[in-house]
Amino acid sequence: MNKKIFENKRTNETCIKIEHPSGLDIYVKPMENYASAYALFGTKYGSINNRFKTDDEADFITVPDGIAHYLEHKLFENEDCDAFARFAKTGASANAYTSFDRTCYLFSAADNIYESLEILLDFVQAPYFTAETVAKEQGIIGQEIRMYNDDPTWAVVFNMLKSVYHNHPVRIDIAGTVESIAEITPELLYKCYNAFYNLNNMVLSIAGNVDPERVIEICDKILKPTPDKGLKSEALPEPLDVVQKEIEVTSEVSIPLFNIGFKAVPEEGVKGLKAETETNLLLSLLAGPTSTLFESLYAEGLINSTFSTEVFSGPGYFTSIMGGESRNPKEVQKRINAAINDAQQNGMDMTEFESVKKAFYGGLIRDLNKAESYASNMIVSAFDGVSPYDAIEIIAQITPADIEARLKRQFDTEKSAISIVNPKVK
């Protein structure tokens, strides 16, 4: 069993990584004077992993969209009871989520922390799927999908992604479609489970009132060595251009909603984290609440307080997004494109650079005092192939020149698309 101490001298923070004999990587952060604990047990398996193979298969197989999310729902049930009932007895609050590139099961607890950890490790490793329970879940998740399909805030995002990406499965709703989940069978669920819920593809992360040795004892008790099956996941090749420049639909909204996405070449590991961090800082300087662009658009009534920016990135995809409400979304897009082109030719206004950088850095430091944020950061960093403290070092070292270079490299107005949800005409 190998142990590694991650240390950040800038903040004097440390956390522990344990390479368990079972194949599982374990991240532990004991936090002094902390009464509760937060734990995540996750697999590097999300909605985009719909095409994969292991050493047991000769060729890649493609499974129905939404199966990762479906599997997350079903894993809480077993033959005797569900995991929520077990957590209720320890007083822990449990949940789970599926994203585009990972699935995590979690709990928070102030008492019976180690008993709750045993439950977490146990139920995630005990799949139970039957034709009857699978059919029942199809109805439940089908209703969930229909509800999201009727949500204009959901539609404006996924219409943008479908306009930006030709082939990458990030263009498809995490839950799939009513048609795709109808194809899910117990056999397919077990195939996906056995491929992605291999301990060599998983991470346990826990922070707060925890003793690393007790965590190891429980893992020794619950986890059995698992052979690495050589899992490989791939997506179809993705062109550099966008599918279409704009898409408009109507829905029950009072003011048009819009999302503008700028497609860029994705990077991985530390380079990917650096690209995401620099782009977030860039978006704040370019179109954040203190920027000249935001103030002018707001003063003219073209945007309101719902306007925001974000970086949407992961394995094989990277999109910078700006969006909100506007009575004239295309004029907003025109002004944003003009601001980008001007900044690329004449340089960005760096007046707010230091204050924006300090705000981002301060947010990372504040998260070090929250068990939930600490544990979440450790597991996301593990899946992304970076250290838990790399983001702190990256933000501390960013310069105005880095932002200028990122703007020229990451933003091409010809590789962008706008999604608009207009009010229905009465």
pLDDT digits (tens, 9 = 90+) for 332-385: 999 999 999 999 999 999 999 999 999 999 999 999 999 999 999 999 999 999
- Distant-in-sequence, close-in-space partners of 103: CB < 8 Å, separation ≥ 6: 42, 43, 45, 46, 68, 69, 71, 72, 96, 97
Name the pLDDT band for 127 (thresholds 50, 70, 90).
very high
pLDDT digits (tens, 9 = 90+) for 196-216: 999 999 999 999 999 999 999
> Looking at residue 156, what is its pLDDT?
97
> Looking at residue 254, what is its pLDDT?
95
CA 193 to chain centre: 20
415 has a pLDDT exceeding 90: yes
Tell me whether residue 319 is in a domain: yes
Among 71-85, 214-228, 355-369, 393-407, the minimum mean pLDDT is found in: 71-85
Amino acid letter at 228? Answer: D
> Looking at residue 242, what is its pLDDT?
98
Q: Which two tokens stand for residue 330?
A: 């295309």
Reduce the secondary structure of 6-37 to three states and give it as a string. EEECCCCEEEEEEECCCCCEEEEEECCCCCCE
> Looking at residue 40, what is its pLDDT?
98
pLDDT digits (tens, 9 = 90+) for 6-30: 999 999 999 999 999 999 999 999 9
> Looking at residue 389, what is its pLDDT?
97
**Same domain flag for 122 and 190:** yes
> Cα(134)–Cα(356) distance, rounded to whole angstroms?
49
| Final residue before a domain boundary, out of 180, 200, 233 | 233
> Looking at residue 206, what is its pLDDT?
98
> Looking at residue 125, what is its pLDDT?
94
What percent of the chain is predicted at pLDDT more than 70?
A: 100
Tell me whether residue 239 is in a domain: no
Here the CATH number for the domain that contains residue 140 is 3.30.830.10
Tell me whether residue 83 is in a domain: yes
> Which residues are catalytic, by number?
72
Up-side HSE of residue 424: CA atoms within 13 Å toward CB? 4
- Distant-in-sequence, close-in-space partners of 220: CB < 8 Å, separation ≥ 6: 20
**Same domain flag for 302 and 371:** yes
Q: Would you say 424 and 251 are in contact if contact means Cβ atoms under 8 Å apart?
A: yes
Tell me whether residue 378 is in a domain: yes
**Same domain flag for 161 and 59:** yes
Mean of pLDDT values over 166-178: 94
- Residue 159 burial (C-beta neighbours within 10 Å; 0-12, 13-18, 19+): buried
**Same domain flag for 224 and 279:** no
> Cα(26)–Cα(41) distance, rounded to whole angstroms?
9
Per-residue DSSP letter, 77 = B
> Cα(178)–Cα(245) distance, rounded to whole angstroms?
27
Mean of pLDDT values over 151-156: 95
Structural domains counted in the chain:
2
Q: Would you say 295 and 355 are in contact if contact means Cβ atoms under 8 Å apart?
A: no
> Looking at residue 426, what is its pLDDT?
66
Name the pLDDT band for 179 (thresholds 50, 70, 90).
very high
**Same domain flag for 220 and 287:** no
| Final residue before a domain boundary, out of 233, 259, 291 | 233
Name the pLDDT band for 1 (thresholds 50, 70, 90).
confident
**Same domain flag for 310 and 199:** no
DSSP reduced 3-state for 423:
strand
Tell me whether residue 407 is in a domain: yes
- Residue 145 burial (C-beta neighbours within 10 Å; 0-12, 13-18, 19+): buried
**Same domain flag for 228 and 251:** no
> Cα(276)–Cα(344) distance, rounded to whole angstroms?
19
Domain that holds residue 97: 2-233
